[in-house]
Amino acid sequence: MIIMKTLTKTLLMLFVAFLSAQSVSAQDAKMSDTRKAKHEEKFKAAAVRLNLTDDQQTKLKAVLQQNKTDMKALREANKDKAKEEKRKVMLEQMKKVNTQITALLDSKQMEIYKQMKEEKKAEMKKKHEEHMKMREEIEGEEGIF
């Protein structure tokens, strides 16, 4: 009787663990789909703003896909290195990709692209400042820990 209860509890726990794992896996897939859709939406908006031809869009997608693969490999290859070394390697990759992107654009598109980069830079700076302000507020409070 005790063995049966123990076995039943064990099977029930395994079943719950299995369902939890399936739920987490489904959530990851959904987040991935959401992230992909968001990236596709951003790409389409940029393509419209830059007035890219179909050929330029195809080439740009290839550059971005290759960059994704390269960045993943660089992160893995440099995971044990110091933060500044990692940053240097990533910046080199970003410069390489920027060169590839600008090679696809005509002069008018290039001006728009530069403007888009400046807007993104300003947006990132603002987010960083907000993050630092929030961090200062939290660290300034006493008795948190």
Helix (H), strand (E), coil (C) string for 123-144: HHHHHHHHHHHHHHHHHHCCCC
For CA atoms 128, 82, 74, 113, the dihedral sign is positive
Per-residue model confidence (pLDDT) at position 135: 85
Tokens 């993050």 sit at which residue? 131
pLDDT digits (tens, 9 = 90+) for 63-89: 999 999 999 999 999 989 998 999 999
Closest CA to 60 of 107, 115, 111, 97: 97
**Cα angle: 91, vertex 95, 96; to 5 degrees:** 115
pLDDT means over runs of 10, the chain (145 residues): 67 63 55 85 94 96 94 92 91 95 96 95 93 84 55
| Contact criterion met (CB below 8 Å) for 97 and 123 | no
Q: What is the pTM of this model?
A: 0.67
Tokens describing residue 113:
């692209």
Closest CA to 50 of 100, 120, 103, 115: 115
Per-residue model confidence (pLDDT) at position 98: 94
Average pLDDT of the chain, as a whole number: 85
Closest CA to 50 of 122, 104, 121: 104
